[in-house]
Amino acid sequence: MNDHDSDLLQRELERLQPSAPKAALMQRLRAARLQVRVAVVQRESTLGDRLSRWFAEWWCLPAGATAVAVGGLILSLREAALTSTGPALAAQAVRHTYTPEKVDNYLVEARDLGVFVGSDNQPYKLVRATWVDEANYRGDDGATRMLVTNSREQLIPVALEVY
């Protein structure tokens, strides 16, 4: 596909406008929306309901406060132990340069969206393709590897021949 075809397709797609829904359908949808009502159901609370509500209201607050206090104490003791072990070594960031070793593109799905006639009176079929790209990279040290997976969608116009 050359640039002229993609520009032509883009202009044709920008020119398309969605059609308005029919008046009968909109009337049915509005009538159905007005009929929907939510009824509140009242029932007697059981012993289990009262116990669970009491537990949620009264026991969760002290238990949560205790958990936060214990967690803060553990974290402060842990930080004190880490800083008191001696001189800290400066962490050196290991940086590698990765080069692509193998790249695979997998076509996962191809759906026909429809046929349209361009301004040049030629029919085109529009196909939506879903791809999964996998790239395997090798680090400059020879030991590290990295796999990058990406999915993408692509609209592909296919020119149809008319006889």
Instruction: Find the helix or strand (DSSP H, E) in which 15 lies.
Output: helix 3-15
Q: Does residue 29 carry a pLDDT above 60?
A: yes
3-state DSSP assignment of residue 78:
helix
Average pLDDT for 100-109: 90
pTM of the model: 0.38
Q: Where are the domains of the chain?
A: 48-84, 94-159
Amino acid 90: pLDDT: 54
CA torsion 26-27-28-34 (nearest 10°) is: 110
> Between 45 and 131, where is the model more confident?
131
